[in-house]
Amino acid sequence: MLIVALVGVAALAVLAFLAGFVIVGSESSIAATVVTSEAGEVPGTGDSLVLVVRGESELAELGEERLETRLDAEGYGVAVAQGLSGYEGPVLVVDVPDRGVQQGVLSHRANVTVESYFASDWNETGFARYEQSGIVELRADGEGTAVAAGEYNLVDRSRGLSSRYRQQVADQLVEAIVDGFRGEIPR
């Protein structure tokens, strides 16, 4: 009888896991830093932007999908792109690391830092310099331009059965990015 009960409990646990049952307990925090740099009279950037999500992980794929959906819900016309060349106007680049999420059976952890770079008027050369030095350079061609560079660090510890932990992490990061990627740049 004891064996039948244990098999039943194990079967329920497997079914709960496969169904994606939610986390029982979670401690999560996100630290966000967004620095805005402006030159000239910056016009509003409007409602369209190009989104480039870089990274080779499942988290990057989930982030791209969820960012597009969430930005669309905020009223942006989003064009998802793979590279950084050939754009004018607003561009949002999000770098998602390939590691930082550890999903276990009952215990899950994440320590992920995602970076964003939003330019009101895309300048690929300026972005390349930013990647190398961490310094934002704005072009001085007489037109207003602005850049918002962000860093979002998510630290999470969760317990419970969940087959969707990476989705949970992606959702938390997406909310932080959508709330802050523009910094002080007018829409």
Percentage above 90 pLDDT, the chain:
42
Does residue 137 lie within any of the structural domains? yes
Cβ atoms of residues 27 and 160 within 8 Å = no
Domain of 128, in residue numbers:
23-180
Q: Which of 18-22, 31-35, 41-45, 47-51 has the lowest mean pLDDT?
A: 18-22
pLDDT at residue 39, rounded to an integer: 83
More confident residue, 36 or 6: 36
Residue 50 confidence (pLDDT): 95
| Residue 76 within any structural domain of the chain | yes
Q: Which class for 160: exposed (0-12), middle (13-18), buried (19 or more C-beta within 10 A)?
A: middle
Beta carbons within 10 angstroms of residue 45's beta carbon: 19
> What is the mean predicted confidence (pLDDT) over 27-40?
90
With respect to residue 73, please indicate whether it lies within any of the assigned structural domains.
yes
122 lies in some domain = yes
Q: Is the pLDDT of residue 157 over 80?
A: yes
Query: Please, what is the average pLDDT of the chain?
Result: 83
Domains in the chain, number: 1
Does residue 65 lie in a domain region? Answer: yes
The answer to whether position 160 is within a domain reads: yes
d(CA 32, CA 153): 6
Matching residue, tokens 């590279």: 83
Residue 48 maps to which CATH number? 3.30.160
Is 35 contained in some domain?
A: yes
Q: Give per-residue pLDDT as tens, 117-137.
A: 999 989 898 899 999 998 888
Most confident residue range from 51-55, 83-87, 124-128? 51-55
- As a whole number of angstroms, the distance between CA 141 and CA 137 comes to 12
Tell me if 15 is assigned to some domain.
Answer: no
When comparing pLDDT for 137 and 17, which is higher?
137
pLDDT band at 88 (very low <50, low <70, confident <90, very high): confident
